[in-house]
Amino acid sequence: MASTADRGRFAEIVVIRHGETCWNASRIVQGHLNSELNEIGRQQAIAVAGRLSKEPKFQAIYSSDLKRAAETANIIAKICNLPEVILDPGLRERHLGDIQGLTLRDAAKLKPEAYKIFLSRKRDGEIPGGGESPDQVNERCVSCLEKIASKHQGERVIVLTHGGVLRELHKHAVSGRSSDGMIHNTAVNVFLISESGNWTIKTWGDISHLHEIGVLNNAFGGDRTSG
């Protein structure tokens, strides 16, 4: 893995976090559970779709099969006149085991072991209740994006996913360094992945399309405790 993409052919993959959900706003841990976009989330999806519709042509759109990402992807696909969204479970958020469906405050009281592992920095820490470790998420989502890139060399595609996945993709692209700050809902992040597997980050965390709608800075997800 290198820090710059080859000068030859590469796939340009625009990776976007889903729009805001009611659970984001209520600071509930989502993980693999389904939650719907709220009205702000739908407005965010329309805004990012309008932005993307003005860019050079995209060949395909992929999405996590979780409802919040798929709903965002369908809005984008319609406005950008793209074919049917390709759903891929490899793009799902980290499975957060026993703390899914709880606020962090409740998780600390009701599931202290799972909560402790969730907040730890241990890369191999699997959360009780079927949860994944950060290393497992990294392997899953990096493999998924590289498969997409291999199908679209010389093309541009859109991918809808989640905050935790985006952090792992960033970590892979920059050789293990973590991203600082919040990854906001519908933030635009652009990865270039070459035929030889080299990654470059072209754009990171761009929310210029949200200047009229805004973002919820205290929502759950998008930071180090994504889910």
Q: How far is CA 19 from CA 22, 49, 75, 109, 218, in A?
A: 10, 11, 10, 29, 15
Q: Is 68 annotated as a binding residue?
A: yes
195 is catalytic: no
What is the bridge-based pairing of β-strands 156-161 and 10-17?
A: parallel
For residues 38-66, one letter each, b for 16 or more C-beta atoms within 10 angstroms of the residue's C-beta and e for the rest, the string is bebbbbbbbbbbebbeeeeebebbbbbbb
Please indicate if the annotation marks 24 as binding a ligand.
yes
Q: Is 181 annotated as a binding residue?
A: no
**DSSP single-letter state for residue 37:** B
Residue that has been written with the tokens 């793209």 in this structure: 82
Cβ atoms of residues 30 and 221 within 8 Å: yes
Provide Rg for the chain, Cα atoms: 17
Is 113 a residue of the active site? Answer: no
| 179 close to 36: Cβ distance less than 8 angstroms | no
18 among annotated binding-site residues: yes
23 assigned ligand-binding residue? yes
Say whether 141 counts as a known binding-site residue: no
- Burial track 138-177 (b if 16+ CB lie within 10 A, e otherwise): bebbbebbeebbeebeebbbbbbbbbbbbbbbbbbbbeee
Length of the chain, in residues: 227
Residue among 12, 18, 172, 209 flagged as catalytic: 18
12, 93, 132, 168: the active-site residue = 93
Q: Residues at the annotated binding site for substrate?
A: 17-24, 68
- The catalytic site residues sit at 18, 93
Q: Residues at the annotated binding site?
A: 17-24, 68
